[in-house]
A and B are shown apart, each in its own frame.
Chain A
Amino acid sequence: MNLTLEIWRQESPKAKGRFETYKVQNISPDCSFLEMLDILNETLIDKIQSPINFDHDCREGICGMCSLYINGRPHGPDDDVTTCQLHMRKFKDGDTITIEPWRSKAFPVIKDLMINRNAFDQIIQAGGYISVTTGGVPDANSIPVNRNDAELAMDAAACIGCGACVAACKNASAMLFVAAKVSQFALLPQGKIEAKDRVKAMVAKMDELGFGNCTNTYACEAECPKGISVSNIARMNREYMCAKVI
């Protein structure tokens, strides 16, 4: 496959960025999207040019590090996959592909396509955990958990914190991420103890960091590589209301 790539280049967080056009040739359709960028970077290095910076780590769709806004969609044109799981066979020979970083005030660009998602870490630090005293490992079945709640909590916990929800949302809202993290604890007995303080702290931090507000367009759910449901947002709305009112 021969492709034309329009890629966002930005030297540093404060530098002015611009799009640059690159041609890549003889790309295998079985190549992953990140491998295609690796091939481009090797040619750039051979020409003593600065390679394109982009986030990646596990390259098997579980770490949440890869990002990239590809042709108008976070993680590209395939559903329920991360960019590292996206294959070039999803494109046509001769295509022009526009590659941009996640755009959000809360996710500043570090360099090129690499963004700072520390805002998500700050939201987790605000309350996305369970306070436990260290000690022996408790018996697995000592606390009964409703099967359905366990499944829903597990579904919410599938969130890898990649930020595609923020990237896809027209308001750059982090509601799906925060809702998934609130839900995974609120559904389980261990998490219910701190549920009220947790949801209040995490929402306050989300607002403080400059994310937008949810207008229920559900682009987040459509683009989430892990298929996190917007029913989690409704659950967080309930949790927050109860925490504030009761």
Chain B
Amino acid sequence: MKSILNYSSLSKKYIMAIAGIFLMSFLVIHLAINLCLLRDDGGEWFNAAAHFMGTNYIVKFFEIFLFAGIIIHILLGVILQIKNWMSRPIGYKSGNKSTTSFLSKYMIYTGAVVLIFFIIHFMNFYFIKVGWVESPVPMIDEEPNFYAIAQLLFANKAYSVLYIVLITILGFHLNHAFQSAFQTLGINHPVYTPFIKSFATFYSILIVVGFNIIPLFFLFFKA
């Protein structure tokens, strides 16, 4: 079997697109769980959801694909981008004034920002769960109190503003990523493609607004 690095450009892009779609579907589940933070129940729902995600065997099975998806998506994205840079050793003096989708030109940069966000996010939550980082708040029955951790983080206004900015950049990445994944997988249709593009906008707004409601809620109603 050939190494994934030796796959054709198209095969690499298929894998990137499939991994991306899987990650985008996970984001919706993540958003649903995060919205539990808005309930004034002392974190009962949110911690229950976090406990379920951390212990359920089906979820843990899919967690393997989630991490594999993240790593493969990043790895292939970087490999393809390096090839793209190498394909034009001398650039244009007059720049590029062609009509293009604006966000599509900056995917590698918005992707790099999303990666930084992932690292911060993992340090704050996932690494505490696996025991690599010590919890900043007392544990409940030897399990991290993620609700209290989220409360602690969002109490910091600088963190909340950074979170809002990073989620918005994630939204820019997703807006192009969603429609681009379908084109890469060969789905381009006079009727369905306009719908896919509209849905991509709806999806990215849903993610940005949905995730950002939480720090705004903590900033304005819990501060």
Could you tell me if A170 and B183 are in contact, using CB atoms closer than 8 angstroms?
A: no
* With A213-B80, A216-B184: A173-B87 Cβ-Cβ less than 8 Å: yes
Could you tell me if A222 and B100 are in contact, using CB atoms closer than 8 angstroms?
A: yes
* With A215-B180, A238-B186: A103-B96 Cβ-Cβ less than 8 Å: no
A173, B86: Cα distance in complex, Å: 11
A81 on interface, CB distance cutoff 8 Å: no
Which residues in window 30-69 of A have CB below 8 A to B?
A: 69
A214 on interface, CB distance cutoff 8 Å: yes
A146, B130: Cα distance in complex, Å: 60
B90 on interface, CB distance cutoff 8 Å: yes
Which one of B10, B11, B88, B101 contacts A218 once the chains associate, using CB atoms below 8 Å? B101
A203 on interface, CB distance cutoff 8 Å: yes
B188 on interface, CB distance cutoff 8 Å: yes
A216, B176: Cα distance in complex, Å: 9
Could you tell me if B84 and A170 are in contact, using CB atoms closer than 8 angstroms?
A: yes
A125 on interface, CB distance cutoff 8 Å: no
Which one of A106, A206, A210, A230 contacts B183 once the chains associate, using CB atoms below 8 Å? A230
Could you tell me if A73 and B97 are in contact, using CB atoms closer than 8 angstroms?
A: yes
Could you tell me if B94 and A203 are in contact, using CB atoms closer than 8 angstroms?
A: no
Nearest residue in B to A216 (C-beta to C-beta)? Answer: B180
* Minimal beta-carbon separation of B29 from chain A (angstroms): 26
B131 on interface, CB distance cutoff 8 Å: no
For the A-B complex, the count of residue pairs with Cβ-Cβ distances under 8 Å equals: 129
A209, B141: Cα distance in complex, Å: 60
The 0/1 profile, CB within 8 Å of B marked 1, for residues 210-246 of chain A is 1111111111001100000011011111111100100
B8 on interface, CB distance cutoff 8 Å: yes
Which residues in window 132-166 of A have CB below 8 A to B?
A: none
Nearest residue in A to B102 (C-beta to C-beta)? Answer: A217
Which one of B87, B98, B180 contacts A104 once the chains associate, using CB atoms below 8 Å? B87
Chain B residues in 8 Å Cβ range of A19: 93
B104 on interface, CB distance cutoff 8 Å: yes
A69, B92: Cα distance in complex, Å: 8
A171 on interface, CB distance cutoff 8 Å: yes
Measured as residues with beta carbon below 8 angstroms from the partner, the interface class of chain A is 35 or more
Could you tell me if B97 and A71 are in contact, using CB atoms closer than 8 angstroms?
A: yes
Chain A residues in 8 Å Cβ range of B187: 234
Interface centre among B87, B97, B186, B187, by most chain A C-beta atoms within 10 angstroms, is: B87
Which one of B87, B96, B104, B185 contacts A241 once the chains associate, using CB atoms below 8 Å? B185
Chain B residues in 8 Å Cβ range of A241: 10, 14, 185-186
The 0/1 profile, CB within 8 Å of B marked 1, for residues 101-122 of chain A is 0011110000000000000000
Chain B residues in 8 Å Cβ range of A172: 84, 87-88
* Minimal beta-carbon separation of A100 from chain B (angstroms): 6
Interface centre among A203, A207, A212, by most chain B C-beta atoms within 10 angstroms, is: A212
B13 on interface, CB distance cutoff 8 Å: yes
A123 on interface, CB distance cutoff 8 Å: no
Interface centre among A71, A98, A172, A237, by most chain B C-beta atoms within 10 angstroms, is: A237
* Minimal beta-carbon separation of B89 from chain A (angstroms): 6
A204 on interface, CB distance cutoff 8 Å: yes
* Minimal beta-carbon separation of B116 from chain A (angstroms): 21
The 0/1 profile, CB within 8 Å of A marked 1, for residues 157-199 of chain B is 0000000000000000000100110011111101000000000
Could you tell me if A212 and B88 are in contact, using CB atoms closer than 8 angstroms?
A: yes
Nearest residue in A to B179 (C-beta to C-beta)? Answer: A216
* Minimal beta-carbon separation of A154 from chain B (angstroms): 17
Could you tell me if B183 and A237 are in contact, using CB atoms closer than 8 angstroms?
A: yes
In addition to A172-B87, A234-B188, 5 A-B residue pairs with Cβ atoms within 8 Å of each other are: A171-B87, A212-B83, A216-B183, A230-B183, A241-B185
Residue pairs across A and B with Cβ atoms less than 8 A apart, 22 shown, are A71-B97, A72-B97, A72-B98, A100-B92, A168-B96, A203-B9, A210-B87, A212-B87, A213-B9, A215-B180, A216-B179, A217-B100, A217-B104, A219-B98, A219-B100, A222-B100, A233-B183, A235-B186, A236-B10, A237-B185, A239-B186, A240-B10
3 tightest Cβ-Cβ pairs between the two chains A and B: A234-B188, A238-B186, A72-B97
